[in-house]
Amino acid sequence: MKRISLGILFSAAVIFSSCRNESETAGERVDEHTNQTQIDSLAQEEQRQPQEIRVEIESKSDSDISGTAVFTEENGEVTMRAELSGLTEGTHAIHLHESADCSAEDGTSAGGHWNPTFEDHGEWGDEDGYHKGDIGNFDADAEGNATVTFSTDEWCIGCEDDTKNIIGTAVVVHDGVDDYTSQPSGDAGTRIGCGEVTE
Ligand SMILES: [Cu+2]
Ligand SMILES: [Zn+2]
């Protein structure tokens, strides 16, 4: 009787310890996988830079505007260089809006200003807040041409940080001027150009 009990206990102990070993092994595999994933994402992070995307700006609201906006990322900073033509001479606003959708004839499909940090509209860098899409105003010359350059470390191209990743937004050019004050969009008027920022 006693011998049988010990035998059962021994078997139970063997079963228990073998289960335990299996789960430890499985646990190690998970850890190895996690480490490998971390290594892979670090490698991708390094490969990610420098990045460049080219955005075609199309005419909206029957404007004559055309052009491109090229975004490059290098050393943690994104630079936008937009070359535009077909504008009226003078000052115009340019922003990143929240949706890479320029399908509407008046550009309203691009939505409001890109504002992933839920701030008020304002001039870039204003201590009272500004949208991550608040690039600001630029001037077109007498021929209706303009080159706009803008650099910031508050954007990235395709990184994991949703408060920085510009992929999925749209470049919108306005007929009017951003007053940097009116909410929610600076009262910049008609949308005359739009380009989808996609990879
Ligand atoms: Cu805008
Ligand atoms: Zn804004």
Closest ligand by atom to 190 CA: 1
pLDDT at residue number 132? 98
Could you tell me the distance, in angstroms and rounded to a whole number, from the CA of residue 134 to the centre of ligand 2? 5
Could you tell me the distance, in angstroms and rounded to a whole number, from the CA of residue 140 to the centre of ligand 2? 21
Closest ligand by atom to 123 CA: 2
CATH 3.50.30.10 holds for 51-196: no
DSSP, res 109: G
User: What type of residue is 169?
Assistant: T
Q: If DSSP codes are grouped into helix, strand and coil, which group holds residue 64?
A: coil
Tell me: the pLDDT tens digits for 88-118? 999 999 999 999 999 999 999 999 999 999 9
Could you tell me the distance, in angstroms and rounded to a whole number, from the CA of residue 186 to the centre of ligand 2? 7
Angstrom distance (rounded) from CA 36 to CA 150? 37
Give the angle subtended at the CA of 52 by the CAs of 39 and 88, to the nearest 5°: 150
Angstrom distance (rounded) from CA 162 to CA 118? 12
pLDDT tens-digit profile, the chain (199 residues): 444 444 444 444 444 444 444 444 444 444 444 455 555 555 555 555 568 999 999 999 999 999 999 999 999 999 999 999 999 999 999 999 999 999 999 999 999 999 999 999 999 999 999 999 999 999 999 999 999 999 999 999 999 999 999 999 999 999 999 999 999 999 999 999 999 999 8
Question: What residues contact 113, with CB distance under 8 A and at least 6 apart?
Answer: 95, 96, 97, 98, 121, 131, 133, 134, 184, 185
Tell me: the pLDDT tens digits for 53-64? 999 999 999 999
Angstrom distance (rounded) from CA 199 to CA 193? 19
Per-domain residue ranges for the chain?
A: 1-47, 51-196
Give the angle subtended at the CA of 161 by the CAs of 56 and 136, to the nearest 5°: 50
Bridge partners (DSSP) of residue 58 are 194
158 CB neighbour count, 10 Å cutoff? 15
Closest ligand by atom to 95 CA: 1
Angstrom distance (rounded) from CA 93 to CA 175? 7
DSSP, res 127: T
Could you tell me the distance, in angstroms and rounded to a whole number, from the CA of residue 51 to the centre of ligand 1? 24
Closest ligand by atom to 193 CA: 1
φ and ψ of 32, to 5 deg = -60, -45
Could you tell me the distance, in angstroms and rounded to a whole number, from the CA of residue 66 to the centre of ligand 2? 23
The environment of the single-atom ion ligand 2, i.e. residues with CB closer than 5 A, is 113, 121, 131, 134
Could you tell me the distance, in angstroms and rounded to a whole number, from the CA of residue 47 to the centre of ligand 2? 32
Could you tell me the distance, in angstroms and rounded to a whole number, from the CA of residue 166 to the centre of ligand 1? 15
Closest by Cα among 175, 189, 157, 199 to 49? 157
What pairing do the DSSP bridges indicate for beta strands 51-59 and 136-140? Answer: unpaired
Angstrom distance (rounded) from CA 70 to CA 25? 50
Closest by Cα among 194, 3, 6, 1 to 100? 194
